C-alpha cells in the first residue's frame, strides 16, 4: 500500500467530514431559529 494512496483517502474523508460538520452547524442554527419562532 503506498503512502500516496493512504493520504489521498484520508484527504477525501477529511473533506467529507468538514462538509458534514458545516451542514451540522447550519442545521443546529436553523433548529434554534425554528424553535424560537414556534415558541413566540
Partner 1 sequence: MASAAPATATAPLPAHWRDFLALTKPRVMSLVVFTGLCGLLAAPVPIHPVLGFTAVLCIALGAGAAGALNQWYEADIDALMNRTADRPLPAGRMDRQSALHFGVGLAAFSVLLLYFATNWVAAAILALSILFYVLVYTVWLKRRTPQNIVIGGAAGAFPPVIGWAAATGDVSLLPVLLFSLVFLWTPPHFWALALFMKSDYAKAGVPMLPVVAGERSTRVQILLYTLPMIAVALLPFALDLAGRIYGIVACGASVVFAFLSTRVALRRSALNDAMKPEKQLFAFSILYLFGVFAALALDRLVLA
CB of 16 to partner 1, least distance (A): 4
Nearest to 24 by CA among 37, 36, 16, 9: 16
Instruction: Give me the 1-40 binding string for partner 1, x by CB under 8 A, dash otherwise.
Output: xxx-xxx-xx-xx--xx---------x--xx-xxx-xx--
CB of 10 to partner 1, least distance (A): 6
CB of 24 to partner 1, least distance (A): 9
Cell triple for 6: 493512504
- CA pair distance 28, 1, nearest whole angstrom: 40
Cell triple for 1: 500500500
Amino acid at each position: 500500500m503506498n503512502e500516496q494512496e493512504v493520504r489521498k483517502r484520508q484527504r477525501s474523508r477529511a473533506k467529507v467530514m468538514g462538509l458534514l460538520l458545516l451542514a451540522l452547524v447550519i442545521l443546529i442554527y436553523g433548529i434554534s431559529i425554528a424553535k424560537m419562532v414556534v415558541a413566540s
